[in-house]
Chains A and B, each alone.
Chain A
Amino acid sequence: MRTDPIILGTAFGYLALLFVVAAWGDRRAEQGRSLIGSPTVYALSIAVYCTAWTFYGSVGRAAEHGPSFLLIYLGPTLAMLLAPSVIRKMVRIAARQRITSIADFISARYGKNTTLGALVALMALISITPYIALQLKAITVSHAVLINYPHTADTTLIDERFWMDKSLWIALVLAVFIILFGTRHLDASERHEGMVAAIALESLVKLVAFMAVGIFVVFVMFEGPAALFAEVAATPALMNSMSLDSVPGGATGWVGMLALAFLAFLTLPRQFQVLVVENVDEQHLTRASWLFPLYMLLINLFVIPIALAGLLLGVSAGDPDSFVLTLPLSAGLEGLPLLVFIGGLSAATGMVIVETIALSTMVSNQLVMPLLLRSKRLHLSTKGELAGWLLGIRRIAIVLILLLGYLYHALIGDSYSLVTIGLVSFAGAAQFAPALLIGLYWRGATRQGATLGLIAGFLVWCYTLLLPGFAQSGWLSATLLTEGPWGIAWLMPYGLFGLENWDIYSHSLLWSMLANIGLLVGVSLFTRPSPLEQTQAALFTEAMHPNLQTTSLWRGQTTQGALKELLIRYLGVQTTQRVFRHNGNKHTFVPDETAPPELITRSEQALAGALGSASARVLINSVVRGEALDIEAILSILDTTSQTIEYNRRLEQKSQELAQIGEELRSANERLRELDRLKDEFVAMVSHELRTPLTSIRAFAEILRDSGQLPDEKRKHFLGVIVHESQRLSRLIEEILDLARLESGRLTLNPKPLDLATLARHSINAIAHLHEEHGIALEVTIEADPAMVIGDHDRLEQVIINLLDNAGKFADRQQPKVRLALYRHRRHFRLSVEDNGPGIGIEERERVFEKFHQIQQDGDIPQGRPKGSGLGLPISRGIIAHLGGRLWVEDAKHLGGACLTLELPAAPDDSSGKDSHLIKDDSSA
């Protein structure tokens, strides 16, 4: 099975399948039924990150450097965690500004600057071409291994003529593929849907192929992971192969590699292409943020077992980079190695396709177009359409980039291992990160800062990674690495300023980032951005600002005719018509009429999609007289929206407060109504209460007036009644006044330290004759003597008498008993008055403190109104409350009736001195 015709037939058959899928994807896109409108397909397309380097190189790196290969995937996992914030912002900006590549992105951020765009494109070309070469090399090597096993593969490669090299032909087929599916539209910011669909399929194929090898190695060759690891444990040489010691640079190298992978993931042109440019829906990022890391986890799951198995087998497994192929080959299989080869081919072609599209867009939009536009002759003289030209440029760029990659592979590819090339590229691409990420969040970053930072970082990268590579290949003297240039030791590329023994990638990353970020920030702090740069900076940093509409930023003037002519020249008739058709309700095209600002903006975006933002800017400038909206305008737009949001927020808060106040008002109103009703009731009750004694007085007075000859005894009785009722009347009025004062807060009390025990005795004396009259047995228990409290002597006495009086009224009629107890309770004194009456039901206990409340005495024969006005208890409670105490009703523990208890806080010790004596003396006097 391992004959050339079969292998090549399978390989080209597989590429044909990609053609079919891509064509199908494009067809579906044209019909409006996109194949790539799913977050899963998006996540799979991001998996173009896993190239032939992952497919073959991970095992190689695991075999040589332990778990460090995982860092290449942990870095992107971290980056994808930030996808919902960082990448989403990039996606939104790219969609709004019709960004076509990372060079375009950086150039647009710093004022649509042509030079910066060209610089990034050139740097990308230099650092990524070897990476493309690496893919072609992987195809060649894997093919050679497949054909030549068990002989080593490398020997045959050099002897072959270049037209015998399969990777050349693969490269050419890929060129055709990319030209067909990558340059269908002029507008590079429009999605290459067919291509993305094909990439997603490739990601699946490489995953399946790799996992198949893994399962075969672990479960067929070794009867499960336990058996494999047991065998590893028995091999002392492999004991520490997966520990941190085998990681280059140890812990420092670990962190450096993690940072490198994190940065490179965001800045590799192909990753930018699939992550940002080809993104069809921001929401897809949510799913991709965990699905893509999961993909990486799965494809790496068997790397360590395969590496260990290869090491166990020793020589027969050959080069670690080829373990994936040689292990199934050594087991005598035929079909699985072919599947692995197709998996590797998938990984390599996927990367080459996307990378070439990204690079060719950069080359045509950032390098060639600005040059052509600058050439006055071409710009002015060429009439007719330039649209065809543009596609032509891009197609030539594709072929040239692939050939460049092939040349690199053919000429110097052999001197590097797969992983070295990949990591050198990573470090090169990572140089874009500061300009990209800092520019995304810091409005103050300027074009000069970004440019100088990029150049410095790139130069340091060249010196610390690229040149040493050449030295290792023998192109430069090897003493450069060991002794430094001209023998200056502190300039050694791998040990700059004496920083030796570092992992070379961490070393390079440290110095290049130091130069890059340092210059970017430092120069930015001392330079002034141009107005357009400020505008763009504001648009980029505030991209996530809600409500930031694509406000037209053009204030200049041009005619519709001039604009249309420009668009037709560069975009063709169809695209131009589409741009003009979108012109809101104004379908009529009048050549001499002024073009509305939205139309100018849309035209610029359309041009940007095809030519890049810098060139679009130049072209629009050529027909529009006047300036774009400046920074003040854009900032005022942003401020207006943020003000609106702030207003909205405040309005909402205010309306919530209003609702709350409304609720409070409603309940206050209800309370007022209730009070009003109570007041009416009160007035009715008071007048009723007043009328009773008044009627009585009047009746007896009339009797006295009208009947002249009343016996003396009777007259005395009548006069007695009148006096008694008058007393009741005045007491009632006194009480009402008290209550009014109490409720209005005008009740004046004279709180002084006094002895509650003395006061209680005093009160008992005052009421004793009344009790005697009614035959009430009074029991007095004073446990706390003295009981010093702060209180108003007369008022407190009034309260105690009131309590004793009440108790007497409600006590049992046959054997009335009342008990007064005074005792200490914690830091208070309690005075309770019990009776042996029927008691007060629980639900009544609070209501007895209402004005004129009358206790229902069940089972009792109505015996007229209870004596008293019904104001005694509310007044008592008010007085006690004024003195800081409480008054409540509970069950009588000793007598079984009701118990009214008042509680007052004990007076502080120092006040129980002289004053209390005064009171004592006073009260006893």
Chain B
Amino acid sequence: MKPSGAQSRKAERLIALVAVTLLLFCPPLIIVVDRLPSLSVGWLPLYLFIAWAVVIGLTAWLMEHRAGR
């Protein structure tokens, strides 16, 4: 029974990660970041790359830890 419990926890975390990713990449937040006062080309590209890297890092952590299965 234990592995299935861990499995379902993983599935739940994955769903949460998808939700977080959607939130990070979709308008309300995008618009907020876009309107931040800036000096050069704006914060949006920097924000997108950082958010993207965070999502990738979280996915990697979620997928690879407990890699032994």
> How many angstroms between the C-alpha atoms of A652 and B48 in the bound complex?
48
Given A229-B40, A304-B41, A652-B1, A74-B52 contact (CB < 8 Å): yes
Contact in complex: A77, B41 (CB < 8 Å): no
> How many angstroms between the C-alpha atoms of A255 and B31 in the bound complex?
12
Q: B22 to chain A: closest CB distance in Å?
A: 7
Give the size of the chain A interface in residues (CB under 8 angstroms): 39
Residues of B within 8 A of A562 (CB): none
A293 within 8 A of B: yes
A286 within 8 A of B: yes
A459 within 8 A of B: no
Residues of A within 8 A of B57 (CB): 290
Contact in complex: A84, B30 (CB < 8 Å): no
A308 within 8 A of B: yes
Residues of B within 8 A of A80 (CB): 59
Contact in complex: A244, B34 (CB < 8 Å): yes
> How many angstroms between the C-alpha atoms of A290 and B53 in the bound complex?
10
Residues of A within 8 A of B55 (CB): 77, 81, 293
A251 within 8 A of B: yes
A400 within 8 A of B: no
Interface size class of B (residues with CB under 8 A): 20 to 34
Q: B31 to chain A: closest CB distance in Å?
A: 6
* Chain A binding surface, main DSSP class: helix
Q: Which of A20-62 contact B (CB under 8 A)?
A: none
A70 within 8 A of B: yes
Q: B66 to chain A: closest CB distance in Å?
A: 11
Contact in complex: B25, A74 (CB < 8 Å): yes
Residues of A within 8 A of B27 (CB): 251, 254-255
**Contact of B26 (CB < 8 Å), options: A240, A242, A258:** A258
Q: Which of A288-321 contact B (CB under 8 A)?
A: 289-291, 293-294, 297, 301, 304, 308
Instruction: Give 1 or 0 for each of B28-43: 1 = CB within 8 Å of chain A CB.
Output: 0011001000011110
Contact in complex: A242, B31 (CB < 8 Å): no
Contact in complex: B30, A244 (CB < 8 Å): yes
Given A78-B21, A251-B27, A238-B41 contact (CB < 8 Å): yes
Contact in complex: B18, A308 (CB < 8 Å): no
Q: B54 to chain A: closest CB distance in Å?
A: 11
B6 within 8 A of A: no
Q: A83 to chain B: closest CB distance in Å?
A: 9
Residues of B within 8 A of A255 (CB): 26-27
Residues of B within 8 A of A304 (CB): 41, 45
Q: B3 to chain A: closest CB distance in Å?
A: 12
Residues of B within 8 A of A239 (CB): 40-41
Q: Which of A326-348 contact B (CB under 8 A)?
A: none
Contact in complex: B40, A232 (CB < 8 Å): yes
Contact in complex: A297, B48 (CB < 8 Å): no
Residues of B within 8 A of A649 (CB): 1
Contact in complex: A81, B49 (CB < 8 Å): no
Contact in complex: B31, A251 (CB < 8 Å): yes
A609 within 8 A of B: no
A545 within 8 A of B: no
Contact in complex: A78, B30 (CB < 8 Å): no
Closest B residue to A300 by beta carbon equals B49
Contact in complex: A289, B59 (CB < 8 Å): yes
> How many angstroms between the C-alpha atoms of A301 and B53 in the bound complex?
11
Residues of A within 8 A of B31 (CB): 244, 251
Q: Which of A223-250 contact B (CB under 8 A)?
A: 229-230, 232-233, 238-244
Contact in complex: B18, A241 (CB < 8 Å): no
Closest A residue to B51 by beta carbon equals A74
Residues of B within 8 A of A254 (CB): 26-27, 30
Contact in complex: A297, B40 (CB < 8 Å): no
Closest B residue to A308 by beta carbon equals B41
Contact in complex: A242, B44 (CB < 8 Å): yes
Q: B1 to chain A: closest CB distance in Å?
A: 6
Q: A217 to chain B: closest CB distance in Å?
A: 15
Closest B residue to A241 by beta carbon equals B41
> How many angstroms between the C-alpha atoms of A67 and B44 in the bound complex?
8
A731 within 8 A of B: no
Contact in complex: B41, A290 (CB < 8 Å): no
Closest A residue to B33 by beta carbon equals A244
> How many angstroms between the C-alpha atoms of A233 and B41 in the bound complex?
7
Contact in complex: B49, A77 (CB < 8 Å): no
Contact in complex: A78, B22 (CB < 8 Å): yes
Instruction: Give 1 or 0 for each of A264-296: 1 = CB within 8 Å of chain B CB.
Output: 000000000000000000000011011101100
A82 within 8 A of B: yes
> How many angstroms between the C-alpha atoms of A289 and B17 in the bound complex?
13
Q: Which of A809-860 contact B (CB under 8 A)?
A: none
Q: Which of B48-69 contact A (CB under 8 A)?
A: 48-49, 52-53, 55-57, 59-60, 63-64
A85 within 8 A of B: yes
Q: A20 to chain B: closest CB distance in Å?
A: 33
> How many angstroms between the C-alpha atoms of A301 and B14 in the bound complex?
26
Residues of B within 8 A of A244 (CB): 30-31, 34, 44
Closest B residue to A75 by beta carbon equals B25
Q: A325 to chain B: closest CB distance in Å?
A: 23
Residues of B within 8 A of A84 (CB): 14, 63
Residues of B within 8 A of A232 (CB): 40-41
Contact in complex: B42, A242 (CB < 8 Å): yes
Residues of B within 8 A of A238 (CB): 41
Contact in complex: B56, A294 (CB < 8 Å): yes
Closest A residue to B60 by beta carbon equals A290
Residues of A within 8 A of B42 (CB): 240, 242-243
Q: Name A residues whose Cβ lies closer than 8 Å to a Cβ of B.
A: 66-67, 70, 74, 77-78, 80-82, 84-85, 229-230, 232-233, 238-244, 251, 254-255, 258, 286-287, 289-291, 293-294, 297, 301, 304, 308, 649, 652
Contacts A243-B44, A251-B27 given; 7 further ones with Cβ under 8 A? A67-B45, A81-B17, A230-B40, A254-B27, A290-B63, A293-B52, A293-B56
- What 5 pairs between A and B have smallest CB-CB spacing? A290-B60, A290-B59, A242-B41, A233-B40, A244-B34
10 contacts between A and B (CB under 8 A): A77-B21, A81-B21, A229-B40, A229-B41, A232-B41, A242-B44, A243-B41, A243-B44, A287-B64, A290-B63
